[in-house]
């Protein structure tokens, strides 16, 4: 496996206690079977946010607003634009963001990111891709022109449960997805304008920055 379960459990045990709103959202995601970033990876992302102090953040894939709220909690001065194509989750995200009093800092757009990204104005210092994995390459191509000169792009789930390393172990319904992610990872690592590192935590996180 890309990260042994015992090691992941150890890292989870080391995490600081979550705030009540985080626990409530995590419980809601579990109850409603909504995929959100795992605790260890989310801690890693928020640490990057603290380091980079991005003024503007673009998130592709809102779900119920958990990661947007977590990123904002790491840098409350940031403004976040996040895109969600599922109307039910979009409405849930709006509710959670308003409940936490963050609707002035987080803008949620309902629509397909493949169409909505090109409508955005200005630059973003931090771009987080966590949506339809089969479209990651296109998301990156659309979003990268919006990245500020010293910005960073994160892609989540790039190890896809460890199957990318052992594609023959993937189930029949996952094989096509695994192939697309493997292609994306190879493309990303060979990108002429970006340098990328893949961190084997959670479901795998790729960190891409522009080459000087």
Could you list the residues known to form a binding site for Mg(2+), using ranges. 130, 156-157
Handedness of CA 31, 101, 63, 26 (dihedral sign): negative
Burial of 24 (0-12, 13-18, 19+ CB in 10 A): middle
Contact 176, 184 (CB under 8 A): no
Q: What is the DSSP letter of 128?
A: E
Handedness of CA 178, 179, 180, 183 (dihedral sign): positive
Question: Ramachandran region of residue 111, left (φ > 0), alpha (ψ -120 to 50) or beta?
Answer: left
Annotated binding site: 37, 67, 84, 112-113, 130, 156-157
Annotated binding site for S-adenosyl-L-methionine: 37, 67, 84, 112-113, 130
């Amino acid at each position: 496996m890309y990260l042994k379960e015992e090691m992941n459990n150890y890292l989870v045990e080391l995490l600081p206690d979550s705030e009540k709103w985080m626990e409530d959202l995590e419980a809601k995601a579990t109850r409603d079977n909504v995929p959100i970033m795992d605790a260890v990876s989310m801690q890693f992302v928020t640490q990057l946010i603290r380091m980079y102090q991005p003024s503007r953040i673009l998130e592709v894939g809102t779900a119920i607003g958990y990661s947007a709220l977590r990123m904002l909690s790491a840098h409350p001065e940031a403004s976040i634009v996040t895109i969600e194509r599922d109307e039910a989750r979009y409405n849930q995200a709006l509710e959670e963001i308003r409940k936490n009093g963050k609707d002035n800092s987080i803008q949620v757009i309902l629509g397909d990111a493949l169409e909505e990204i090109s409508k955005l104005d200005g630059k973003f210092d931090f771009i987080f891709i966590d949506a339809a994995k089969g479209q990651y390459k296109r998301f990156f191509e659309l979003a990268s022109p919006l990245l500020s000169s010293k910005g960073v792009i994160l892609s989540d789930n790039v190890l896809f449960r460890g199957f990318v390393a052992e594609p023959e172990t993937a189930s029949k319904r996952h094989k096509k997805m695994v192939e697309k992610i493997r292609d994306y990872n190879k493309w990303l690592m060979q990108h002429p304008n970006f340098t990328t590192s893949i961190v084997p935590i959670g479901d795998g996180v790729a960190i891409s920055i522009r080459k000087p």
